[in-house]
Amino acid sequence: MSEDSATEMITEYQDEQIVLDTVNKLEHREDHSVLEADMVKGEPLYPHELTRDAVLSMYIMALFFYLSAFVPPPLHGAADPTAGTAFPPPLPDWYLLWAFGCLKVAWDIEFTIFGYHFFLMTAKVWGTLVQGMIVGLVVAVPFIDRAIGFLIDPQYGDVVNRGHERRPIEDPVRAAIGVYGIAMVIMLSIYSINANVAIYYPEINTKVLSQVTLWGPLGCAFITYLFLDRRRSEGAKPLTDEERFALYTDGIADRRMQRIYEFKLNRCYQCGLCDDICPVRDMEGEHELNIIFNTFQNEHDGVAMWSCITCGMCTAVCPQNIEYVDYVLEQRALTTSGAMS
Amino acid sequence: MKFNRIVAAIIGCLVLLSLPVSAETPILEELMRKYTFPLIFLSLAGAVAGVAYLYVTGLLPSAIFESWKWVDERFALHRYFSLAKREYYSVVYTLMPATGRTMPQSHTERYNVKAVWYWYPFYSLGGLSFFAYVVLTITGIYLGFYYVPDGQFVNENGEPCGTGTCTSGAYQSMELIMTQVSFGYIIRAVHHWSAHFMVASVFLHMMRVYFVGAYRNPREINWMLGSILLMITIFFGYTGYLLPWDELGFAAGSIGLEMATSIPAMGPLMAQIIFGGTQLTGDTITRMYWLHIFVLPLIGTILIIVHMALVWIQGEAEPH
């Protein structure tokens, strides 16, 4: 197959996809305001995240200079291969302790079957393999996640897990596994400095530490699961549509930022692009029919709210990506259902 | 007339400046030695004054345009500029098309969350680790001017170390950086702390991604890239930890050598590749240096660019 035909195929496919997307969007136009849509797009990196990062990086730079000025970086004596090993032995950096702990916690794998003695691998090899296994597990997390979903619910488990980020409270099992991993890494790190711990706390010997390393993470995971599952059953669950309507009207009543639309409307820095692009304003309105301004001022005299043709041009040009149309549709729904608006 | 006055003023200034110069040294050299920083300041001030003059007279836009034209007719930059612009808008309008953009339900809606701001720093951790990476690059370039990757064990006289106290070229250059080099101490400290911060923030970034479930479709590739980047960050830390070639680095090196040799079937080979042998020698430092300043930065920078491009294309997974 030549290169040109492949390019053509790709181009045709893309065109088809664009047409399909457009049809899909037009067909589901009504769903957008109140109900959750199927496709979940991410929050844009620019400008939202980049702005936050820029602000926080100033603090971090200040933190670097503060630490540099008051906590000097260590420079010990020169390396000496002829000198004996010191006690307590010098330790690797904190982020390598878990790997060191894997080496220390491992044991020789040997067993006897029918009088024959098998010596499979030494502790060193086993410890190194364990590190490799941990790294492999971490890399494969997205697929393990779906497999777990499938095991829990063979019919819909992996479908439910597809493409939806959730809070830990929605997935107590996943959160418990994560807590197990973190607790295990911390315990391995503590286990790796057992000689240094024993100097200050002689009662915490290696036996105690190995028991805690074995059972501690399991206990943490179990407690996490219990806690999150209890929270879930207590009612921290997705709201129904009616509850969300009630939430919205209450939110309007005491003026708290509870709906994402309000939250997003507050991002507006009044550049006026939406006002410039608005076709209704272009055709009909002068200063008295400024839909967007009236809505922001909460002055719904009926004209502004109902003359919007929900074309979405304001959202298209909005640098802050505010979903104005959704807001208008929501207002209409509330008005017709008798809620205060 | 005006021009003559300016020239006269400049000559007068030079004469005044040259008054304290002795007759033995060449005047120009002496002047340059004495007034290096004032001259740098003056030239900077002149540049600022020139731009201000162009701005006041309204010539600045045409000057910028002329210089852009000068570069453009040599390198045809308009092609790349328009390409970049088109790509930017195509990405923007693909992600946020004008009609029917879907509105994801946020956690604020779903759970009636009252306060959301304290989640933001967790979403910034990836960007902050990139910031630390940039700081590490800048400070690392400065440290690289003075650091000597010579790990041979020698005694004070520079002979191979048999008995007595050992030192090495690498350690001596570290002492130089810490005591003699101007700004050496603070630059090394910033390098040290931003390295620790970067490792910590990468760990925390991974935890955030895990607990929010952001690694799911469509972001699996980015998760795997990120876990490779975590490994690279740890290797960065490890190789940099060995470079001062002090007691701590030596101990960490012997642990790492043990780990490398205990890999089944290819242990000695790995030890040879990473540590330059099954013993810690001067070669170890050369290898660590090359890994730390070339191999890991090369791979890491490419992967970071891909990682961030994917975030740019796919967007962030729903901040609270």
What residue of A is the nearest CA neighbor of B167?
A78
In chain B, which residues have their Cβ closer than 8 Å to the Cβ of A322? none
Quote the mean pLDDT of chain B. Answer: 84
**Within-domain flag for B80:** no
Contacts of B219 (CB under 8 A, 6+ apart): A142, B310, B314, B317
Q: What are the CA-CA distances from residue A58 to residues A45, A54, B131, B133 (Å)? A: 19, 7, 10, 14
The confidence score (pLDDT) of residue A1 equals: 47
| ipTM tops 0.95 | no
Q: Looking at the predicted structure, is the pLDDT value of residue B146 above 90?
A: yes
Q: Which amino acid is at B264?
A: P
The β-bridge partners of B154 are B160, B167
Terminus-to-terminus CA distance in chain B, angstroms?
68
Are B191 and B139 contacting, i.e. CB atoms less than 8 angstroms apart? yes
**What tokens were used for A154?**
């063979």
**Within-domain flag for B1:** no
Q: What are the CA-CA distances from residue A181 to residues A217, A226, B210, B316 (Å)? A: 7, 17, 11, 24
d(CA B188, CA B175): 11
A257 CB neighbour count, 10 Å cutoff: 16
**Within-domain flag for B15:** no
Partner residue facing B98 (CB), from A100, A244, A312:
A312
The confidence score (pLDDT) of residue A259 equals: 43
Say whether A2 sits in a helix, a strand or coil: coil
Are B244 and A75 contacting, i.e. CB atoms less than 8 angstroms apart? yes
Partner residue facing B189 (CB), from A41, A73, A127:
A73
Which of the residues in chain A have pLDDT under 70? 1-4, 25-44, 46-48, 85, 87-88, 156-165, 231-241, 243-268, 284-304, 330-331, 333-341
The confidence score (pLDDT) of residue A303 equals: 63
**A80 and B250: CB-CB below 8 Å?**
yes
The confidence score (pLDDT) of residue A256 equals: 37
B298 CB neighbour count, 10 Å cutoff: 10
pLDDT tens digits for range B81-112: 777 766 666 555 555 544 333 334 444 444 44
Structural domain tally of chain B?
1
Partner residue facing B108 (CB), from A25, A127, A260:
A260
Give the whole-number percent of chain B exceeding pLDDT 70. 84
d(CA B184, CA B143): 7
The confidence score (pLDDT) of residue B293 equals: 95
d(CA A338, CA B15): 88
User: Which backbone phi and psi does A101 adopt, to 5 degrees?
Assistant: -65, -35
Partner residue facing A138 (CB), from B167, B227, B264:
B227
pLDDT tens digits for range B172-195: 999 999 999 999 999 999 999 999
The confidence score (pLDDT) of residue B184 equals: 93
A214 CB neighbour count, 10 Å cutoff: 12
The confidence score (pLDDT) of residue A293 equals: 64
Are B94 and B167 contacting, i.e. CB atoms less than 8 angstroms apart? no
d(CA B165, CA B246): 12
User: Which backbone phi and psi does B94 adopt, to 5 degrees?
Assistant: -70, -40
**What tokens were used for A197?**
């711990």
Q: Please, which residues 16-55 of chain A have a Cβ atom closer than 8 Å to chain B? A: 21-22, 25-26, 28-29, 32-33, 36-46, 48-50, 52-53
In chain A, which residues have their Cβ closer than 8 Å to the Cβ of B194? 64
What residue of A is the nearest CA neighbor of B225?
A139
Question: To the nearest whole angstrom, how far is the Cα of A28 from the nearest Cα of chain B?
Answer: 8
pLDDT tens digits for range A49-60: 888 899 899 999
Partner residue facing B259 (CB), from A103, A167, A260:
A103
**Within-domain flag for B124:** yes
Task: Return the residue in B96, B102, B150, B152 with the most chain A beta carbons within 10 A, the one to mutate for interface testing.
Answer: B102
The confidence score (pLDDT) of residue B86 equals: 67
Closest to A48 (Cα-Cα) out of B108, B96, B215: B96
d(CA A318, CA A330): 19
**A28 and B100: CB-CB below 8 Å?**
yes
DSSP one-letter string for B37-101: HHHHHHHHHHHHHHHHHHHHHT-HHHHHHHHHHHHHHHH-HHHHHHHHHHHHHHHHHHHS-SS--
What residue of B is the nearest CA neighbor of A185?
B203
The β-bridge partners of A113 are A116
Please give the average per-residue pLDDT across B295-314, as a whole number.
92
d(CA B213, CA B134): 28
**Within-domain flag for B4:** no
Contacts of A139 (CB under 8 A, 6+ apart): B223, B224, B227, B228
Question: To the nearest whole angstrom, how far is the Cα of B16 from the nearest Cα of chain A?
Answer: 42
**B215 and A256: CB-CB below 8 Å?**
no
**Within-domain flag for B3:** no
**B103 and A326: CB-CB below 8 Å?**
yes
Contacts of B217 (CB under 8 A, 6+ apart): A142, A162, A163
- The torsion of the CA quartet A235, A241, A247, A249, rounded to 10 degrees, works out to -160
Q: What is the 3-state secondary structure (H, E, C) of B193-233?
A: HHHHHHHHHHHHHHHHHHHHCCCCCCCHHHHHHHHHHHHHH
User: Which backbone phi and psi does A111 adopt, to 5 degrees?
Assistant: -155, 160
The HSE-up count of residue A85 (CA atoms within 13 Å, CB side) is 9
Give the whole-number percent of chain B exceeding pLDDT 90. 43
Inter-helix orientation angle B184-212/B169-179, to 10°: 100
**Within-domain flag for B319:** no
Question: To the nearest whole angstrom, how far is the Cα of B275 from the nearest Cα of chain A?
Answer: 15
**Within-domain flag for B60:** no
The confidence score (pLDDT) of residue B18 equals: 64
Task: Determine the structural domain holding residue B306 and report its residue range.
Answer: 117-314
Looking at residue A121, the DSSP 8-state letter turns out to be E
The confidence score (pLDDT) of residue A65 equals: 94
In chain B, which residues have their Cβ closer than 8 Å to the Cβ of A32? 100-103
DSSP one-letter string for B122-178: HHTHHHHHHHHHHHHHHHHHHHHHH------EE-TTSSB-SSS--EEHHHHHHHHHH
Q: Which residue has the higher pLDDT, A288 or B298?
A: B298
**A236 and B111: CB-CB below 8 Å?**
yes
Looking at residue A163, the DSSP 8-state letter turns out to be T
**B108 and A79: CB-CB below 8 Å?**
no
Are A222 and A176 contacting, i.e. CB atoms less than 8 angstroms apart? yes
**B108 and A259: CB-CB below 8 Å?**
yes
